[in-house]
A = this chain, B = another copy of it.
Amino acid sequence: MAERQRVLLLGATGETGGSILEALLEAGQFDVEIMVRPRSAEKPAVKQIANRGIKVRVSDLAAPEAQLVATLSGIDTFISAIGADDLIQQKSLVRAAKAAGVKRFVPCAFITVAPPTGVMLLRDEKEVIYNEIKRLVLPYTVIDVGFWHQFSYPRLPSGRVDYAMMMPNSTIHGDGSAPNLLTDLRDVGPFVARIIADDRTLNKYIYTWSDVLSENEIFNIVEEMSGEKIEREYESAQEVEQKVAAAASNLAQNPDIPMGRLQRYVTDYPYSKYVRGDNQPSYAKYLGYLDARELYPGFKPISFRDFFAEVLAGKGRKPYSGAPPAGKVADL
């Protein structure tokens, strides 16, 4: 893929999509456009992107196939950073991408490493899309990123890092020893930019990371760097499993309540990461993933320590808060 790629990104106003958009633009080697659904076309965040000279393609995902194919025409690489509640809607995109001759489809993966089915609701739904891709023999790359630094540190008793936390807590799950792949949200994009320019990643799964840390290790680092003693709360493996069972049962009884889905997949994560220990390099390799750090040894991702030093210095940013990405303010 030496020639300049035309990349179409869906979900550019989200956290993952935002990281990807900035990195693709910064790389300078892609013709970047974004795709939005009609309901989002007038959003200020989309207008802001359009005002930077980025072309916006608008289409409903339930549009007739010919319209979706037209929307994807001329695109080399399609990247989906669609929301967690709309994963299955990617089916129409997969079919349109095949018909439009897209050369690489990057479905919405971007989560922790987990079994294909039977453990995490989100992963189960992603698998439906991966299988549709394989049925249609569409060239693809699945990119998982582990868990973000931004969600991976505990509350400090002083409260001085609360400003950047979505849900302050200081819980250790199980015995806290499960190794856990971590990537800074801001590095998702730079990894993606490298991966989509690389023929070695075509029709492969790949995981990104800066650190592999257990909860115990994270708490120790945070205590050491802050000088504060965290009041550790413990949730046993059994308690985690009970929460998953309760969330699954809730969702089964009330399948149409969005909060039920959210509750389910928020409880799936600690079960998969900490009780099962899925989100680690050995399991990723067992599943056939490539390691992005082995492919791009020259790229130095933001370490958890460097990330947390920023948070301590008041330079953190609360995810899903609508604030511009940290370190990217000047660009906007």
Q: Are the C-beta atoms of B288 and A288 separated by less than 8 Å?
A: yes
Chain B residues with CB below 8 A from A134, complex form: 115-116, 286-287
Is A203 interfacial (CB 8 A cutoff)?
A: yes
A49 to B151, CA, bound (A): 59
User: With A203-B286, A288-B288 as given contacts, are A116 and B137 in contact (CB-CB < 8 Å)?
Assistant: no
Is A131 interfacial (CB 8 A cutoff)?
A: yes
A203 to B203, CA, bound (A): 17
Q: Which of A135, A203, A283 has its CB near the most chain B CB atoms (within 10 A)?
A: A135
Is A132 interfacial (CB 8 A cutoff)?
A: yes
Q: Chain B's nearest CB lies how many Å from the CB of A136?
A: 9
Q: Chain B's nearest CB lies how many Å from the CB of A108?
A: 18
**Residues 69-120 of A contacting B (Cβ, < 8 Å):** 115-119
Q: Are the C-beta atoms of B137 and A118 separated by less than 8 Å?
A: no
Chain B residues with CB below 8 A from A135, complex form: 115-119
User: With A288-B203, A288-B288 as given contacts, are A283 and B116 in contact (CB-CB < 8 Å)?
Assistant: no
Q: Chain B's nearest CB lies how many Å from the CB of A181?
A: 16
Q: How many copies does the complex hold?
A: 2
Question: Residues 264-303 of chain A: 1 if any B CB is under 8 Å from the residue's CB, otherwise 0?
Answer: 0000000000000000000100111000000000000000
Q: Are the C-beta atoms of B288 and A137 separated by less than 8 Å?
A: no
Closest Cβ neighbor of A278 among chain B residues? B137
A137 to B286, CA, bound (A): 8
Question: Residues 173-186 of chain A: 1 if any B CB is under 8 Å from the residue's CB, otherwise 0?
Answer: 00000000000000
Q: Which of A117, A131, A134, A203 has its CB near the most chain B CB atoms (within 10 A)?
A: A134
Question: Residues 113-130 of chain A: 1 if any B CB is under 8 Å from the residue's CB, otherwise 0?
Answer: 001111100000000000
User: With A203-B288, A288-B288 as given contacts, are A283 and B137 in contact (CB-CB < 8 Å)?
Assistant: yes
Chain B residues with CB below 8 A from A116, complex form: 131, 134-135
Q: Chain B's nearest CB lies how many Å from the CB of A308?
A: 31
A283 to B287, CA, bound (A): 19
A116 to B116, CA, bound (A): 12
Q: Which of A137, A283, A287, A288 has its CB near the most chain B CB atoms (within 10 A)?
A: A137
> Looking at the complex, which one of B118, B203, B204, B286 makes contact with A131 (CB distance below 8 Å)?
B118
The 8 closest A-B pairs by CB, nearest first: A115-B135, A117-B131, A118-B135, A116-B131, A115-B134, A203-B286, A116-B134, A288-B288
A–B complex contacts, Cβ < 8 Å, 20 sampled:
A115-B131, A115-B134, A115-B135, A116-B131, A116-B134, A116-B135, A117-B131, A117-B135, A118-B131, A118-B132, A118-B135, A119-B135, A134-B286, A134-B287, A137-B283, A137-B286, A203-B286, A203-B288, A204-B288, A288-B288
